[in-house]
Amino acid sequence: MRVSIKTGAPAASQNVGGAPQPASTGPVGATVPADAFSVSNGAHFIAVARARLDAIPDVRQEKVEAIRARIDADAYSPDGEAVADGLVREHTPARQEP
């Protein structure tokens, strides 16, 4: 096997990164027009719905305060079976009739 080493002037650099080089399209300092967009009716509807949902509190504070008052007055005695039935109903998928 024969190896020859030739030395000389380095070759011109090439675009090895794969990214295209921007072409000169106009004078330096020229502005590029801004992109335009429009919002569809569906997107507007979603934005309005989201704003309305954000206005609803996560916790219904009046119910929490009413239950706290009943607990403080020793007047709160929930039915354990009703609570369990509600939890099972809430976390069990509805059956589909054949």
Concatenated DSSP letters for 55-83?
HS-SS-HHHHHHHHHHHHTT-----HHHH
pLDDT value of position 43: 87
Residues 12-70 pLDDT 10s: 666 566 666 666 566 666 677 778 777 788 888 999 999 999 998 888 899 999 999 99
pTM for the whole thing?
0.36
CA distance 84 to 67: 18
Q: Domain spans of the chain?
A: 60-92
The three-class DSSP label of residue 88 is helix
pLDDT at 45: 92
For the chain, state the CA radius of gyration.
35
Amino acid (1-letter code) at residue 81:
E
pLDDT tens per residue, range 68-85: 999 999 999 999 999 999
pLDDT of residue 3: 66
